[in-house]
């Protein structure tokens, strides 16, 4: 059993072809919905149809990585202290109608562990021990989203949304060793999940606003930031 699985969210390991097909499908759906704008008439031709958002966010795994751990499973032991930074998100929304928008979201977050010691049995049933090393973790998300805006006027925007996307992890230990790489599962494909969200934006000016969002699912539980409409 890989110890790192206790720190990373549950995942279904997908083949590379499956991941590529899922990403292609996600962006094809976005392209089709964007082109569907030709079938709708926005009431005011001067009304903004595009929005770019830059957010900081808090994720469940970011919080977990800030904790310290002392794990023991049979003969395996793992003692560490963790750290993480807020996730940075960049999003684009296209308003098909005044109350309906579709978009894409990219998120990246850095986390890690300072490991005091790690003891485990390798594939040849030989006990290995590693002391005082670092593990850097990068977590990225690529997804597609749909929002319904219950209120969307000159000053306020309240919406409910749904997302679908994939999380991709990369784990990099500071020690180079084949057994350690296998144990940490340092490179693996993405995991795709749906998520729900509720958000509010306050429009400070005609094109600039600030907002926050809470969500159930990946890639975060709470986000906050600034947006620009054009």
Closest CA to 193 of 22, 2, 16: 22
Instruction: Indicate whether 40 belongs to any domain.
Output: no
pLDDT digits 0-9 by tens, 113-147: 999 989 998 888 899 999 999 999 999 999 999 99
Instruction: Indicate whether 69 belongs to any domain.
Output: yes
Integer CA distances (angstroms), 215 to 78, 85, 183, 223, in order: 32, 19, 32, 9
Share of the chain above pLDDT 70, in %: 77
DSSP string, 108-147: EEEEEEEEEEEEEE-TTS-EEEEEEEEEEEEEEEEEEEEE
**Residue 227 exposure: Cα atoms within 13 Å on the Cβ side:** 28
Lowest mean pLDDT among 151-160, 175-184, 186-195, 205-214: 186-195
Instruction: Indicate whether 134 belongs to any domain.
Output: yes
Instruction: Indicate whether 22 belongs to any domain.
Output: yes
Instruction: Indicate whether 223 belongs to any domain.
Output: yes
d(CA 175, CA 144): 36
How would you class 102 by CB atoms within 10 Å of its CB: exposed for 0-12, middle for 13-18, buried for 19 or more? buried
Instruction: Indicate whether 161 belongs to any domain.
Output: yes
The range of the structural domain enclosing residue 124 comes to 3-34+45-229
At residue 68, does pLDDT exceed 90?
no
What total number of domains does the chain contain? 1
Band of pLDDT at residue 42, cut at 50, 70 and 90: very low
- Residue 95 sits in a domain of what CATH number? 2.40.160.20
Instruction: Indicate whether 39 belongs to any domain.
Output: no
DSSP state of 79: E
Instruction: Indicate whether 159 belongs to any domain.
Output: yes
């Amino acid at each position: 059993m890989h110890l790192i699985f206790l720190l990373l969210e549950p995942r279904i390991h997908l083949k590379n072809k499956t991941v590529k097909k899922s990403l292609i499908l996600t962006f094809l759906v976005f392209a089709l919905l964007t082109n569907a704008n030709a079938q709708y008439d926005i009431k005011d031709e001067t009304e903004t149809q595009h929005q770019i958002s830059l957010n900081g966010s808090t994720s469940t795994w970011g919080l977990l990585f800030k904790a310290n751990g002392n794990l023991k499973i049979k003969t395996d032991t793992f003692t560490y202290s963790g750290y993480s930074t807020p996730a940075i998100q960049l999003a684009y929304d296209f308003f098909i109608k005044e109350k309906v928008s579709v978009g894409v979201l990219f998120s990246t977050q850095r986390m890690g562990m300072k490991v005091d010691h790690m003891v485990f049995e390798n594939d040849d049933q030989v006990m290995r021990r590693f002391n005082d090393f670092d593990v850097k973790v990068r977590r990225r998300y690529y997804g597609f989203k749909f929002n319904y805006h219950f209120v969307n006027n000159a000053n306020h925007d309240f919406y409910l949304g749904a997302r679908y996307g994939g999380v991709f992890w990369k784990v990099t230990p500071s020690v180079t060793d084949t057994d350690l790489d296998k144990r940490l599962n340092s490179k693996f494909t993405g995991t795709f999940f749906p998520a729900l969200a509720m958000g509010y934006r306050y429009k400070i000016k005609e094109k600039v606003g600030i907002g926050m969002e809470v969500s159930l699912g990946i890639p975060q539980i709470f986000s906050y930031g600034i947006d620009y409409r054009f």
